[in-house]
């Protein structure tokens, strides 16, 4: 079993930030973007995923490689893995970080074209919200417990201890 943090919020776009917590809850899934790539990431090599990202989205070598690794990590998530769902944070961020809840992965990776929402890449999951659907915590709370100075990337593997400390501490508040 592995433990992860998945960011629910997309990077800034013209409409602002888009947060997908409600989508996760409604569909009982965790999901990631990059839906325009023309390869099946569970069957493609790293080089093929990088080339597909460059073709679909452009970008620099470093960012496309980082994104390809993120996709490969998402594919590797297994049934039984646990995921902390939050908006993410920057190393210099001052404002609080929104934590929504946890997910227990209940299904294998799916490359699924859906009419309901635009993401192809997902895992079925049992979603458990924190309290009234969110907790706003100081960034330093997560930095100390997860040993992560930043959660800017979409997906991060974390320790069991870090995951359990966050969940336990939020249950007390």
CATH topology for 3-172 is ph1033 like fold (3.10.590)
pLDDT value of residue 170? 83
Structure tokens, 169: 């501490």
Task: Give residue for tokens 């939020």.
Answer: 170
The percentage of the chain sitting over the pLDDT mark of 70, rounded to a whole number, equals 90
Q: Is 56 exposed, middle or buried (0-12, 13-18, 19+ CB in 10 A)?
A: middle
Q: Is 1 exposed, middle or buried (0-12, 13-18, 19+ CB in 10 A)?
A: exposed
**pLDDT over 60 (residue 125):** yes
**How does pLDDT run across 31-51, given as a tens digit for each residue?**
998 888 999 999 999 999 999
Whole-structure pTM value:
0.90
How many angstroms separate the CA atoms of 171 and 71, rounded? 31
Q: Which of 55, 57, 43 is nearest to 109 (CA)?
A: 43
Sequence ranges of the domains in the chain: 3-172
């Amino acid at each position: 079993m592995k433990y992860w943090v998945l960011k629910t919020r997309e990077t800034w776009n013209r409409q602002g930030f888009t947060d997908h917590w409600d989508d996760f809850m409604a569909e009982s899934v965790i999901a990631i973007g990059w839906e325009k790539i023309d390869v099946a990431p569970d069957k493609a090599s790293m080089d093929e995923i990088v080339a597909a990202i460059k073709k679909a989205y452009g970008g620099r070598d470093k960012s496309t490689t980082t994104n390809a690794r993120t996709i490969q990590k998402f594919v590797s998530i297994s049934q039984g893995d646990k995921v902390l769902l939050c908006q993410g944070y920057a190393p210099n961020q001052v404002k609080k970080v929104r934590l929504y809840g946890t997910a227990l992965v209940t299904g294998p990776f799916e490359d699924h074209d859906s009419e309901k929402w635009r993401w192809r890449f997902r895992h079925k999951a049992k979603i458990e919200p924190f309290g009234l659907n969110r907790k706003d915590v100081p960034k330093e709370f997560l930095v100390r417990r997860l040993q992560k100075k930043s959660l800017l990337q979409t997906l991060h593997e974390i320790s069991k201890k870090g995951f359990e400390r966050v969940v336990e501490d939020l249950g007390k508040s």
